[in-house]
Chain A
Amino acid sequence: MTDFDEASMIEGRGLSKTYARAKRPALSEVSLRVQAGEILGVIGPNGSGKTTLMGCMLGLLKADQGASFLGGQPVAGIPARRLVGYLPERLGFDPWMKGADFLSYHHALAALPASDRAKDVEAMLLDMGLDRAAWSRPIRGYSRGMLQRLGLAQALIGKPRCLFLDEPTSGMDPDGVLKTRSRIQAFAASGGAVVVNSHQLDQLGKLCHQVLFLKEGRIEATERLQGAAGLTWFVEWLPREGGQAKAKAALEKLDLKARTLKASSAQVDLPDEEAAAALVAALVKAGVPVLSAGPLKGDLERFFTGAAHASE
């Protein structure tokens, strides 16, 4: 498993692509590198080249210039394709197939042992939280959220090392969003490399180690996010006597450090949502009358809008 170049599990070098009859290039000299264990988010306005970049990285589109590599192998070769899992934005699955059969088919296509097939498929379907009754139903009857879960299962069934996800949580219910996020994080934690295209900045902010902003086919900016998969929460309480001191004590008890701590609010860096729940519980227990608590939105949004306006 360590025959790959883990420092650049996913690598694109100077990728350029101009579609026939297009006035401007869809991609211009885009280079990127994703290490094992890392999640890269790709953001940008519609038509900025995000899906073209993914197509070139996967070898589905032929770049006019540049090359892409997976685990150090050229993407066009069979060895590279043993490493890849892909969830497209538009889920064009065979509608006549049943959910479980579809996964079995992709398990077989991935050349994994037939003896493990039934076990792997069942485990994956359970892991994705797909209703057991749906396993033996034709895919044509699936809702968008179910298709998305099945799509992610398909991307993971071949035991990939490089995962490409295009809008992975589109159409999913909140439970599905949380499950998908934790599944992607677990994949990265096990040494996988991930590229995610998404318009959902809050999701990317919680998921990614690094974000790349594309505009008109060019990289406008890249941002390494603080404490990947971590988040900053904003907590607000009623301004009462001693509120700040009580909050400070509660934070210290949980070994958390506030970015800012004011008389009636605080910004706190948290490793995950479990820690956020624990913080709120601790504040309430300490007698702090909490009014609201939630992830602090804006870092990625500010980055997005800043990068979008930088070139104008």
Chain B
Amino acid sequence: MRLNRPVYLNTLRWFLDSPPRLLCAGLMALLTYLVVGGMAHMEINGVSSEGMFDTPQALASAGDKILVLLAWILGVGLIRREISSGAIQLVLLRPLSRPSYVLSKWAALATLNALFLVFCWAVLILRGGILQADKAGDLGLLFGAQVLQIFALAAVLCCLSCVPSKLGEMGTLVLAGIGILILSHYAESLDQAALRAAVDFLWKVLFPRVGAFMDTDGSGAAMSLAFNAGVTVAALGGAMALLQAREFSYAETGA
């Protein structure tokens, strides 16, 4: 299984071809610049945040929500769009394996999100001046955790994109969210610790965020990194298995 360069490059071109998608991504970048960059300079009750700013915590909480949103904006329709139009049939008849196709799609989405992550960090470092020597290790680990968060998000989107459902990724996600909320309600009312842990796990899988691990202890970033590495592998494997098992006929195309 190898990355297929034409599929990878063509997917990158598809992202850049859509003006609404680019506009959304641009607005997200602006939001990052204003909000994330501004956080380092804000004053609370006349006291400057500089010097008292908990860098890893701020990066995790401010950055990862934006990254989740951006991944969804960029990634909706990643594979499903080609399944619906029937274009995937022509691609899969070429000499490439279905797992290679999934891997290439995932890599393209992960690349774009990684570029955005680098932008977020550049804003924080340049506007906030928060790169402190004593925090370098923490920041390195956090960066790694956020990269894995991006990988996991892209993999989850690939997997949802391959689910044979007429609801689309968003519909499938909303349905899954409702299911988890119902489960969560029962977990609370029945006071079931195991069920609560399962709900927490499912949220972390569906919305991979570094911040979800940051309130535990100092090892939050490392835990997030390991967890999201697992989610990435599992979701990519799921997407590949779903596509491998899938049949393609005109009945499901919107043409």
Contact = CB atoms under 8 A, between A and B. Distances in A.
Interface of A: 51-52, 55, 58-62, 78-79, 81-82, 84, 86, 88-96, 105-106, 108-111, 154, 158
B247 A109 contact: no
Interface of B: 4-7, 10, 14, 17-18, 82, 85-87, 89-97, 247-250, 253, 255
B249 A105 contact: no
Q: Is the interface of A mostly helix, strand, loop or mixed?
A: loop
A90 B6 contact: no
Contacts of B97: 78
B247 A96 contact: no
A92 B253 contact: yes
Given A90-B86, A90-B253, A93-B87, A61 B94 contact: no
B85 A92 contact: yes
Contacts of B94: 81, 106, 109-111, 158
Given A51-B250, A61-B248, A92-B89, 11 more contacts: A52-B249, A55-B247, A60-B93, A81-B95, A86-B93, A89-B250, A92-B85, A92-B253, A94-B82, A111-B94, A111-B95
Contact of A82 (B91, B95, B247): B95
Nearest to A94: B87
Q: Which of B7, B87, B90 has the most CB of A within 10 A?
A: B90
A108 B14 contact: no
Given A61-B249, A109-B6, A109-B7, A78 B14 contact: no
A110 B87 contact: no
Q: Which of A52, A89, A111 has the most CB of B within 10 A?
A: A111
Contacts of B87: 92-94
9 tightest A-B contacts by CB? A92-B86, A108-B6, A90-B255, A109-B94, A92-B85, A60-B248, A81-B95, A96-B17, A92-B255
A90 B18 contact: no
A84 B93 contact: yes
Q: Which of A51, A61, A90 has the most CB of B within 10 A?
A: A90
Given A92-B255, A96-B18, A105-B10, A62 B90 contact: no
Contacts of A106: 90, 94
Nearest to A160: B93
A88 B89 contact: yes
